[in-house]
Amino acid sequence: MDSGKPPLAGVKDAVQVAVNIRPLIGSELLQGCRDCINVVAGEPQIQLGTHCFTFDYVYGTTTESSSSKIFKECVAPLVDGLFYGYNATVLAYGQTGSGKTYTMGTGYTPGGNNGGVIPQVMEKIFNKAHHLRNQTHFHIRVSFIEILKEEIHDLLCETTVTKQDTSGMKTPLLTRPSIQIRESTAGEINLAGITETDVHTLQEMASCLAQGSLSRATGSTNMNSRSSRSHAIFTITLEQKKKHREKSSSSFDAACDDFLCGKLHLVDLAGSERAKRTGTDGMRFKEGVHINKGLLALGNVISVLGEDKRRKEPRHVPYRDSKLTRLLQDSLGGNSRTVMIACISPADSNVEETLNTLKYANRARNIQNKPIVNRDPIGTEMQKLRQQLNLLQAELVCARASECAPTVLEVVERRPTSGYDEHTAEPTSLLQSYMRTIHDLEAELQLLRTSCSGDVRRVSTSSDGGCSDIVDGNHGLLSETRCLMSHLIENYADVFEEDAMTAKEVEHHLFLRECMDKELQELNMQLKEKEAEMTRVANNDAAVLKDHFDKKILELEEEKKKLQMEKKLLSSELESLHSSSDEQTKRIQSSYAQKFSVGLTLQAYHLQVHLQNRIKQESEHFRTWKACREKELMRLRKEGRRNEYEMHKLQTLHERQKQVLHRKTEEAATASRRLKEVLESRKQEARENHVSGTPAKLTAKTFQQWFDNELESAVRLREARLAYEKQNAFQEGDARSDAQNAPTSPCDTEAPSVSSFSNGRIDSLERTSTAITISTTAVDLEEEQYRVRGPVRWQQVRTLGDAKDLLNFVFNVAACARCQLGDREHENKELNEKINLLLDELRQTECQKKQLEELMPRTTNNTGVSDAHADELLRLDIGGLLEEQVMSFSNPDELGDGACQSIEPNPESSGRTWKWRKSGTQKWPLQFKWKWQKPWRIAQWTQKNEKAIRPASSALRVLDMI
Ligand SMILES: Nc1ncnc2c1ncn2[C@@H]1O[C@H](COP(=O)(O)OP(=O)(O)OP(=O)(O)O)[C@@H](O)[C@H]1O
C-alpha cells in the first residue's frame, strides 16, 4: 500500500498491521515503570522478552510525530482508494490507555489541539475533492455510531441526550429505538435508521466528529482518566459522478463507470481491560465485561480468517457473535482495504497485555480481503444488458455476413425503399420502436440514478424508506426491459428465421436469469423470516425451546403408536397364516423368509459386533493376566535372589568361622609343640643330672638361663591350659549350634545345608583331636612339674650366695615385669578410650543413617538388596551376587580420604568410566551406578576403595581389627 494506486478489483489484499508504541506517560513514570520494548533498528520488528514479531509498520521510535507518519504511510493510500471507489477501514486496537483515541483523534474538540488520523483524513478528502471539482461531482456523507454494552447508538442523532454522572461518566439516553443491522442482497452491511449527514465542507465534517466525540461514553478508571467505554465507528461515504459526458449510446458504458461510491470506516475500539488493574466495579465493571466480550468475538473472527489462509476449505466465520464483528464484516475478510493500528504501552508493568496485543495483531496480518470498485448497481446491471444486446447484434450480423446476406441495418435501411409488403416491414418498425424504447429507458435510468444518489438517500433514516421503493421500481423497469428484449428477439426470429435457434438460446438465458433473480428474492425473504424467528427465539428462549421439544415428544409418541400398530398387524397376520390357503401361505412364507433373511443378516451383523467386543474384552483380560503373571514372576525372581543372597551370607559366615577356628587350632598346636619342646629339654636335663650324680654348679649366666626356662615352662603351661579351656567352650557352643543346624525334615536336606553340616562335623572332630593333644601335653607338663621339678627345683641353690643371686635376679625380673604391666595398663586405658570414642561415633552414624532412611526413600537396586545389605556384601567380598548396585553420597566427606580418583567398573559390559572427584565443583548428593557380573571385580573394587565406602563400614572394620 505504498502508492496511492488502488489494487486490482477483486484481487486479494491482506490486512496491513501497524504498531504504534506510545511514550511512557506521567502515571507510568511516577510508578517507576521502565521501557521493555525493543524495536529492531531499520526493521518493522519488535522484540518483547523472548518473543519477536514482524509487522508492516512500527511507529513511536522516532521523534517525528507518529500520527502524521501513520497517516502518510498507512492511511493516505486508503483515502486515495476511496476516490477510485474502494471501501476502506482503519481500526485502532489495544489495551486500555494504550493511546487508541489519541492515535485516531476520536476525542476531537472544536478549536482544540487535535492530532490523530481522522482530522488528517478529513483534510485530505476535502483537498482532493477540491482538486477534482471540475471533473467530478462529489457527495459526502458521514455517520458516527458507538457500540455500548452490545447496543448501537447513533452519536449524530440530534435527539440523543448524554447523561454525565458524578464520576464524569457520560452515558447516552436513548430517545429513539436502537439501530438495527441489515444485510442487503448484495451482502452489504447497513444500519437501518442511522443518521447520515451530508457534509460539504471540512468544518461541517469536523463539527460532526466533535458532536459525536462529545456524545461518546467515557469514564475514569485506574488506568485511564478518560477511558472510552464503547467502540466508536466514524464512517465517511464518498459518492462521485463524472461531469461532461456526452449522451450517446457509447456514453452509456462510460456512465456506469462515472458513478463510484466508497466508504471509509474509522474505528476506535474500546481498550481491553482487567478489572483488577482498572479497579472497576458496578456499572463500570459490567461495561468492561461487554468490552472484553466484543473484543473476544473480534479475536475469534481474526483467528478464523487467519487460519483460512492455510486451510483449503473455508470455515464458518463467527461474525454474528457480536455487533462489533457484524459491523466489521466487510472490513475483515470482505470488500474493504483494511489497516489495523495496534496501540501498545512500552511500560514493563503492561508487558502481559502488550504481548497479547502483539499476538492479536500478528494474527490479523493473515487476513485476506477482497476489495472491489463500488459502482452504481443499476448502471452496472444496465451495462451488462447492453453488452448482451451488442453481442447478440454482432452475432447476427456475423451470421448474415457469412451467408452474404444483408445486415440488419441494411435490411432496416433498405425496407422503406424496397417496396416490401406490410408483413415484412413490421419487424423493421418494431426494431426501430425497440431502439426508441432503449433510448427512453436510458434516459429514465439516468434520472433514477440521480434521484437515488440525491435527496432520497439523504433521508434514509427510515428503515424501509423511499430508496428501497425506487430500487423496486428500477427492478420493474429492468424486467420490462427484459420483456422488450425477448420480444425483440422474437421479432428478429420472424424476420431472420435462420437465427431462431440463437434467439431461443438467448431467450432461454434471459429466462434463467429471471428465475435466478426470483430465487434470490425468495431466499432474501426466507432469510428475513429466519432472522425474525431468531429474534423471537432469542426473546423467548425457554418457552420456544419447550414448545419445540413438546412437539418433538408428540411426534415421537405418534411414531411409537404407529410402530405398535404395525407390530399388532404383523402378529395378526402370523395368526391368520395357519388358517390361510396354501398359496397364500407360500406367499407369506416367502415374505417372512425374506424378512427372516434380513433379520438373519442383521443378527449376523450384531453377532459379529458382539464377537469383536468379546475378542477385545478377552484380549484385555489376557493382557491383564499376563501383566499379573509377569509381576508375580518378577517377585519370585526377586525372592530367589534374596534367598540366594541369604545362602551365600551363611556360607561366608561359615567360611569365616572356619578360618578363625583354623587359626586358633594352629595357635593351640604351636603352643602344644613349644610346650613339648620345653618338656623335652627338662627331661634331658634331668637325665644328664642323674648320670653325673650331682647337679652341675651353676654360673650366674646359666642360673639366669635356668630361671628363664622355669618361668617359660610355667607360662606355657598356663597358655596350654587356657587353650584347652577355650577349645572346650568352643566345642560346647559348636555342639549346640550343630544340634540346631542338624536337618530335621527331608525338605531341609538340601545340598548346601548337608555339606555345611558335614563340614561342621569334620571341623569339630579336628578341633577335638587338637584339644586332646593340648590337654595331654599340659597334663604331662603338670605332672612333671609336681613330680620332678616341684620338690627338686631349688636343689641347685646350695649356698646363701646362690640364693642372694637368685633373689636379686628374681627381683629384677619382677620389677621389669611390673614396669611392663604398668605400661600395658596404660596402653589398655588408651585403647579403651579409643574404643569408647569409636563406639559413640558408630552410634551417631547409625542414628543418622536411620534418620536418613526414614526421610529418604530407600535406595535399592534391581536385585532388591538394600543399601545396608549392599555395604555388608561389599565388606564380606561376596558382592558378586549383585547385578546392579546404586550408591549414593550426600556429602563429600562420605567418600573418605582414600577415595579413588577414578574407577572403571566394567569396561566390557558398559564401556563407561565414572570419575570420582572430591572437589568443590562436584554437586551433592551423588549417585553412582555400576554393573558387575563377576565376584572378583567387587572384591577388587572393595580392596581398592575400602576407605571410601562409608564411615559406618569403616568403623565396623576398625572394630574388627581391635
Ligand atoms: N503517542 C502519545 N504521546 C503522548 N501521549 C500519549 C500518546 N498516546 C497516548 N497518550 C496518552 O495516553 C493516555 C491514554 O491514551 P488514550 O485515551 O488515547 O488511550 P486509549 O487506548 O484510547 O484508552 P481507552 O481504551 O481506555 O479509551 C492519554 O493521556 C494520552 O494523552
| ipTM of the complex in this document | 0.98
Is any ligand 1 atom within 6 A of the Cβ of residue 271?
yes
State the pLDDT at residue 55: 93
Report the phi/psi class of residue 666: left, alpha or beta, with left for phi > 0 and alpha for psi in -120 to 50: alpha
State how far the Cα of 281 lies from the Cα of 278, in Å rounded to an integer: 9
Neighbours of 149 (CB within 10 A): 17
CA distances from 498 to 396, 400, 401, 410 (A): 10, 9, 13, 17
Q: CA neighbours within 13 Å on the CB side: how many for 771?
A: 17
- Could you say which DSSP state residue 589 is in? H
Could you give phi then psi for residue 185, rounded to 5 degrees? Answer: -60, -25
- The finding on whether 322 has its CB within 6 A of some atom of ligand 1 is no
Closest protein CA for atom 14 of ligand 1: 97
**Digit-coded pLDDT (tens) for 108-161:** 887 777 788 999 999 999 999 999 988 899 999 999 999 988 889 898 887 655
Residue 96 annotated as binding site: yes
What is the Å distance from ligand 1's center to 329 Cα? 27
Q: By alpha-carbon position, which residue is closest to atom 8 of ligand 1?
A: 99
How does 364-395 read in b/e, with b if 16+ C-beta sit within 10 Å?
bbbbebebbbbbbbbbebbbebbeebeebeee
Nearest CA to ligand 1 atom 10: 99
pLDDT value at residue 439: 59
Q: State mean pLDDT over 396-420.
A: 49
pLDDT of residue 249: 45
Spacing, Cα 18 to ligand 1 middle (Å): 17
Share of the chain above pLDDT 70, in %: 58
- How far is 527 from 843, CA to CA, in rounded Å? 91
By most ligand atoms within 8 Å of CB, the mutation choice from 22, 58, 114, 223 for ligand 1 is: 22
Which residue puts its alpha carbon closest to atom 9 of ligand 1?
A: 99
Residue 718: what pLDDT? 79
Locate 829 and state its grid cell.
586405658
101 lines ligand 1 (CB under 6 A): yes
Is 64 a pocket residue for ligand 1 (Cβ < 6 Å)? no
Task: Give the Å distance between the CA of 61 and the centre of ligand 1.
Answer: 16
Q: Is the CB of 153 under 6 A from ligand 1?
A: no
Q: Assign 187 to helix, strand or coil.
A: coil
Measured from the Cα of 224, ligand 1's closest atom is: 26
- Comparing 101-110, 115-124, 668-677, 938-947, which segment has the lowest mean pLDDT? 938-947
Answer whether 278 contacts ligand 1 (Cβ < 6 A). Answer: no
Calculate mean pLDDT across residues 460-475. 43
CA of 287 to the centre of ligand 1 (A): 19
Amino acid 331: pLDDT: 86
350: Cβ below 6 Å to ligand 1?
A: no
Q: Ligand 1: which of 35, 70, 96, 102 to mutate, judged by most atoms within 8 Å of the beta carbon? A: 102
Residue 516 clears pLDDT 60, i.e. is over it:
yes
The atom of ligand 1 lying closest to the CA of 67 is 1
Is 99's C-beta closer than 6 angstroms to any atom of ligand 1?
yes
Q: Is 98 annotated as a binding residue?
A: yes
pLDDT band for position 636 (50/70/90)? Answer: very high
Cα–Cα distance, 20 to 92 (Å, whole number): 10
Centre of ligand 1 to C-alpha 370, Å, is 32
Eight-state DSSP code of residue 676: H
Residue 371: asked if its preceding bond is cis (omega within 30°), the reply is no
Q: Write the DSSP symbol of residue 12.
A: -
Which one, of 701, 55, 650, lies nearest residue 359 by Cα?
A: 55
Ligand 1 centroid–CA 99 distance in Å is 3
**Which residue is closest in CA terms to ligand 1's atom 13?**
97
CATH homologous superfamily of 16-158+179-243+256-375 equals Kinesin motor domain (3.40.850.10)
Mean pLDDT of 838-852: 84
Give 107 Cα–ligand 1 centroid separation in angstroms.
10
What gap in Å lies between CA 606 and CA 359, rounded to an integer?
A: 53
> How many angstroms does the Cα of residue 23 sit away from the middle of ligand 1?
10
Read off the pLDDT of residues 593-622 as tens digits, 9 standing for 90 and up: 777 677 777 777 888 888 888 888 888 888
Average pLDDT over residues 395-400: 69
282 is in an annotated binding site: no
pTM for the whole structure: 0.46
Does residue 306 have its Cβ closer than 6 Å to ligand 1?
Answer: no
Whether the CB of 328 sits within 6 Å of ligand 1: no
With vertex at residue 812, the alpha carbon angle to CA 810 and CA 815, rounded to the nearest 5 degrees, is 105
Query: Which of ligand 1's atoms lies nearest the C-alpha of 60?
Result: 1
Reported as a single tens digit per residue, the pLDDT across 768-816 is: 656 666 666 666 666 666 555 555 667 777 788 878 887 888 888 889 9
- For the Cβ of 96 lying below 6 angstroms from any atom of ligand 1, the answer is yes
The CB of 227 under 6 Å from ligand 1? The reply is yes
Higher pLDDT, residue 814 or 743: 814
DSSP helix, strand, coil percent of the chain (3-state; round to 5): 65, 15, 25
Q: How far is the CA of 275 from the centre of ligand 1 (A)?
A: 19
Ligand 1 pocket check for 143: Cβ under 6 Å:
no
Which three three-digit cell numbers place residue 926?
Answer: 551423588
Tens digits of residue pLDDT in 184-230: 777 788 888 888 999 999 999 999 999 998 888 887 777 787 888 88
- Ligand 1 touching residue 102 (CB < 6 A): yes
Atom of ligand 1 nearest to the CA of 94: 21
Q: Which atom of ligand 1 is nearest to the CA of 268?
A: 22
Q: N- to C-terminal Cα distance for the chain?
A: 96
Cα-to-centroid distance, 226 and ligand 1 (Å): 9
Closest atom, ligand 1, to C-alpha of 226 = 17
Average pLDDT, the chain: 71
pLDDT top residue among 901 and 241: 241
The answer on whether 95 is annotated among ligand-binding residues is yes
- DSSP letters, 167-181, are TS-EEEEP-SPPPEE
Ligand 1 mean position, distance from CA 501 (Å):
71
Q: What's residue 715's pLDDT? A: 80
If one residue of 24, 25, 278, 290 were mutated to test the ligand 1 pocket, choosing by the most ligand atoms within 8 A of its CB, it would be 25
Cβ of residue 228 lying under 6 Å from some atom of ligand 1: yes
197 belongs to an annotated ligand binding site: no
Is the beta carbon of 94 within 6 A of some atom in ligand 1? Answer: yes
Q: Is 284 in the pocket of ligand 1 (CB under 6 A)?
A: no
Give the pLDDT score at 823. Answer: 92
343 in contact with ligand 1, CB cutoff 6 A: yes
CA of 278 to the centre of ligand 1 (A): 15
Predicted confidence at residue 615, as pLDDT, reads: 86
Share of the chain above pLDDT 90, in %: 16
Q: Is 224 in the pocket of ligand 1 (CB under 6 A)?
A: yes
Residue whose cell numbers read 447513533: 154
Q: Is there an atom of ligand 1 within 6 Å of 219 CB?
A: no
How far, in Å, is the centroid of ligand 1 from the Cα of 102? 5
The mean per-residue pLDDT over the stretch 248-266 comes to 68
99 labeled binding residue: yes
CA atoms of 466 and 469, how far apart (whole Å):
5
User: Is the per-residue pLDDT at 470 higher than 60?
Assistant: no
Beta carbon of 22 within 6 Å of any ligand 1 atom: yes
Q: Ligand 1 atom closest to Cα of 20?
A: 1
Q: From ligand 1's centre to the CA of 25, what distance in Å? A: 8
The answer, yes or no, to whether residue 167 has pLDDT greater than 90, is no
Rounded to an integer, what distance in angstroms lies between the CA atom of residue 448 and that of residue 478?
12
Winning range, highest mean pLDDT, from 105-114, 331-340, 580-589, 681-690: 331-340
Q: Is the CB of 97 under 6 A from ligand 1?
A: yes
Question: Does residue 379 have a pLDDT over 70?
Answer: no
Domain boundaries of the chain, sorted by first residue = 16-158+179-243+256-375
Regarding the beta carbon of 213 and ligand 1, being less than 6 Å apart is answered no
Residue 524 predicted with pLDDT over 60 = yes
- Determine the atom of ligand 1 nearest the C-alpha atom of 223: 26
Q: Is 415:425 a contact under the CB 8 Å cutoff?
A: yes
